[in-house]
């Protein structure tokens, strides 16, 4: 007997049949199965900072073990407000403008479910972080894609303008960008902001890599939050998280910053999705978000060193790299290897070479657009990156 396809199974929802499980997370399982060096899913294999871990343990010891306030413990929200003021220069009211969520993953979907009605359009730059497509389906949004074009991942302003229309509810801007490593310039951000205002649209900004930037001479590599721009504070939901900045992706603590009315709606959705994020980890978050600037400077330097280790390794192995200005991924072009597509290449790389990456097609609405691209992450120990370098010696071209 054949298993009915999900769309025909009356026990499954139409929405759930419209997307697959995460390819990124699947690659981690494949890496474990075949003993590959895992440069696929973006999580560090080095320790989280000792002092932050200690604060979490102390909180459990102090019996911070029951539900926190649904939208976040007061000390954590206060710390978020202070840090946002000092880093972005934005004053936010922790009582009415912050919702603490289970990672930015929940923050994004809660924000979309709180604001988007069926049939309304949400603009997404592609290649995109793969969650955004299921987020759109689950929140009944109709996604409209606008290309970021290699090698510098710029967008065509006419294409973006033509995509905005009366049905546009929002645009998602992931800045610094996963998977491309693009850091949007002020000019680009202002252009997007202008369209949001012209069409009365919202902006969801995913800023979880806000501290992972690689300045270079002659380029403007600064983190600009959409909420900082004139006229945008009232129409922006900033989605952020402890995951990447403090190397605690498994803690699942994130947050949304939005004007009070939108925050009220996000809090309701969040309450019934998850009730709240882990209370003792929010206590540690209050400490983490109060760390001095030196913490962020060191984070940036360490990531820059890792990027500068992996880029030449990939080039040497035959990849064409798109060197990132931010975040901790390197998109590459694999056309010189002669594989039919990215999935076949990735399978070969995991099983025969022993290095895991993410097939580029998982970042595009049209898989063919990413068929000659794969993404590597470099949030790993030097020894892990060096082990990958040794294994790449086995990688042969198929021409
Ligand atoms: C752009 C982007 N947003 C969100 C997430 C998920 O973050 P969190 O752990 O806060 O849910 C990731 C994880 O890789 C990401 O790259």
Q: What digits encode the pLDDT tens for the residues 130-168?
A: 999 999 999 999 999 999 999 999 999 999 999 999 999
pLDDT classification of 8: cutoffs 50, 70, 90: low
State yes or no: pLDDT of 113 exceeds 70: yes
How many C-beta atoms surround the C-beta of residue 273 within 10 A? 13
Report DSSP state, residue 349.
I
For residue 166, the number of C-alpha atoms closer than 13 Å in the C-beta half-sphere is 0
Which atom of ligand 1 is nearest to 104's Cα? 10
Tokens (6 digits) for 243: 């995951």
Which residue owns the Cα nearest ligand 1 atom 14? Answer: 42
Which residue owns the Cα nearest ligand 1 atom 6? Answer: 105
Burial of 199 (0-12, 13-18, 19+ CB in 10 A): middle
Which residue owns the Cα nearest ligand 1 atom 16? Answer: 178
For residue 172, report the distance from its CA to the centre of ligand 1, in Å: 13
Q: What is the pTM of this model?
A: 0.95
Report pLDDT for 399. 64
- 123, 146 in Cβ contact below 8 A? yes
Protein residues whose CB sits closer than 6 Å to any atom of ligand 1: 42, 103-105, 129, 174, 178, 206, 208, 241, 243, 249, 254
146 forms beta bridges with 125
pLDDT classification of 5: cutoffs 50, 70, 90: low
* Average of per-residue pLDDT across 45-53: 98
For residue 399, report the distance from its CA to the centre of ligand 1, in Å: 37
Which of 241, 282, 358, 380 for a ligand 1 pocket mutation test, highest count of atoms within 8 Å of Cβ? 241
């Amino acid at each position: 007997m054949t298993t009915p396809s999900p769309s025909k199974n009356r026990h499954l929802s139409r929405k759930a049949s419209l997307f697959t499980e995460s390819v990124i997370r699947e690659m981690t399982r494949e890496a474990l199965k075949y003993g590959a060096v895992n440069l696929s899913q973006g999580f560090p294999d080095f320790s989280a900072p000792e002092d932050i871990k200690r604060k979490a343990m102390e909180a459990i010891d102090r019996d911070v073990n029951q539900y926190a306030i649904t939208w976040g413990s007061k000390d954590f929200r206060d710390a978020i407000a202070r840090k946002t003021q000092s880093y972005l220069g934005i004053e936010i009211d922790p009582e009415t403008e912050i919702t603490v969520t289970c990672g930015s993953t929940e923050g994004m979907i809660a924000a979309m479910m709180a604001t988007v009605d069926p049939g309304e359009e949400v603009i997404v730059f592609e290649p995109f972080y793969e969650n955004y497509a299921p987020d759109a389906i689950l929140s009944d949004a109709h996604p409209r894609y606008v290309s970021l074009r290699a090698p510098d991942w710029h967008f065509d302003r006419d294409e973006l303008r033509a995509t905005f229309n009366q049905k546009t509810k929002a645009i998602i801007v992931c800045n610094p960008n996963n998977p491309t490593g693009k850091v949007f310039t002020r000019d680009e951000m202002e252009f997007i902001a202008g369209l949001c205002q012209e069409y009365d649209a919202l902006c969801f900004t995913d800023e979880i890599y806000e501290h992972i930037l690689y300045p270079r001479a002659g380029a403007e590599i600064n983190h600009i939050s959409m909420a900082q721009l004139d006229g945008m504070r009232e129409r922006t939901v900033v989605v952020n998280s402890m995951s990447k900045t403090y190397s605690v992706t498994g803690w699942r603590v994130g947050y949304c910053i939005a004007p009070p009315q939108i925050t009220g709606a996000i809090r309701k959705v969040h309450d019934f999705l998850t009730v709240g994020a882990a209370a003792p980890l929010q206590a540690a978050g209050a400490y983490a978000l109060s760390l001095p600037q030196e913490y962020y400077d060191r984070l940036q330097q360490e990531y820059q060193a890792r990027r500068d280790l992996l880029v030449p390794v990939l080039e040497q192995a035959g990849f064409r790299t798109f060197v990132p200005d931010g975040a901790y991924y390197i998109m590459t072009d694999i056309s010189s290897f002669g594989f039919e597509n990215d999935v076949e290449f990735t399978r070969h790389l995991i099983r025969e070479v022993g290095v895991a990456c993410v097939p580029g097609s998982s970042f595009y609405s049209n898989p063919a657009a990413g068929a000659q691209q794969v993404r590597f992450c470099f949030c790993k120990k030097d020894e892990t990156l060096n082990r990958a370098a040794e294994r790449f010696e086995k990688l042969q071209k198929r021409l």
